[in-house]
Amino acid sequence: MTDLNAIHQPVLLDECVGLVAPALAHGDAIVVDCTLGLAGHAIAFLKSSPGAHLIGIDRDEEALELATQRMDQEGLSSRFIPVHAAFDDFDEVLESQGIEHVDAAFMDLGLSSLQIDETSRGFSYAHDAPLDMRMDTTQTLTAAEVLASYSLQRLTSIFREYGEERFSRPIARAIVESRESHPLQTSKDLNELVDATVPKSHRPAGNPAKRVFQALRIEVNGELEKLSQTLPQIATHLNMHGRIVVESYHSLEDRTVKRFMTAGTRVNVPRGLPIIPEEAQPYFKDLTHGAIKADDMQIEENPRSASVRLRAVELIRHIPENALKEYEEHGKERG
């Protein structure tokens, strides 16, 4: 049997447990791990809170199966409910379980350790594999389909926005020009095209295709849209003093999380107003005071933690009805 502990090192595990556990102190507490992966964080949450139950959501059926095996091995399966879904189905997942409110929700965004280490789905530019990149293999859109069918303008926009790639348009143009005679099917194909397109004098450190691969993964899986739609859903299902804890690894993810959390920690009235109405008071308490980052020792032990940004808030009062509308509409527009 594969040693799952050897391939999965949860990022900032102690810090995440420290942020989640206070919300799970009562006997019937419920926490939702929206990005279950191989359940490294989830197992730690349940061990630290013996009375809590955990709902684990993941789009990847293989990850769900392996996580369930780990829960069985740890003797935690009686307090664990695995659900195959995308995390933006948060409302539906809770409804299917007959649950209205939860005490904490956790998100560890980006690729799971399983997806990073598995070479067959084309997530990594370091291994030659079909350009799939689907977190949920039951969906139809793949990276190869994006490269074969998207317009020059749309490809340029994706590489620029999601990959922050300086040479977005030349790369997109090269893809469009080449696909008539040589459609890109594998990670090697894409690597070679980017390598031939990006000037050697203007390349970032590492593989020049890194940002393009990142952008494709985000597009194929709708990661940013799903994130912006999910955060308001979580907030509306929190019990009082419930907590939202999120680890981000990409500036666009972190920006989305920061914007959402910060809006709830600020007084929402014009400056100088002598009396602040109850409905304008902050409804979140900032628990991390900005983002927590991995220190040098943590990065040395787990290089994947180098880019992590950990943020968390606690619900401290009722959320006004219109407060989350902006984020819900934003998510619908982008979806």
Indicate the annotated binding residues for S-adenosyl-L-methionine: 39-41, 58, 87, 108, 115
Beta bridge partners of 107: 246
Name the phi and psi angles at 104, rounded to 5.
-160, 150
Beta bridge partners of 56: 33, 82
Question: E strand or H helix at 282, and its extent?
Answer: none
Q: For 203, which DSSP code? A: P
> What distances in angstroms separate CA 295 from CA 19, 43, 112, 252, 328, one per listed residue?
18, 23, 21, 22, 35
**Residue 211 contacts residue 159 (beta carbons within 8 Å):** yes
- Residue 160 has a CB neighbour count (10 Å cut-off) of 18
The Cα 204–Cα 318 span in angstroms is: 46
The residues near 15 (Cβ < 8 Å, ≥ 6 apart) are 292, 310
Name the phi and psi angles at 151, rounded to 5.
-70, 165
The Cα 67–Cα 180 span in angstroms is: 42
**Residue 20 contacts residue 52 (beta carbons within 8 Å):** no
The count of C-alpha atoms lying within 13 angstroms of the C-alpha of 323, restricted to the half-sphere facing its C-beta, is: 27
The Cα 58–Cα 60 span in angstroms is: 5
* 185 exposure class (CB count in 10 Å sphere: 0-12, 13-18, 19+): middle
- Could you list the residues known to form a binding site, using ranges: 39-41, 58, 87, 108, 115
The Cα 323–Cα 319 span in angstroms is: 7
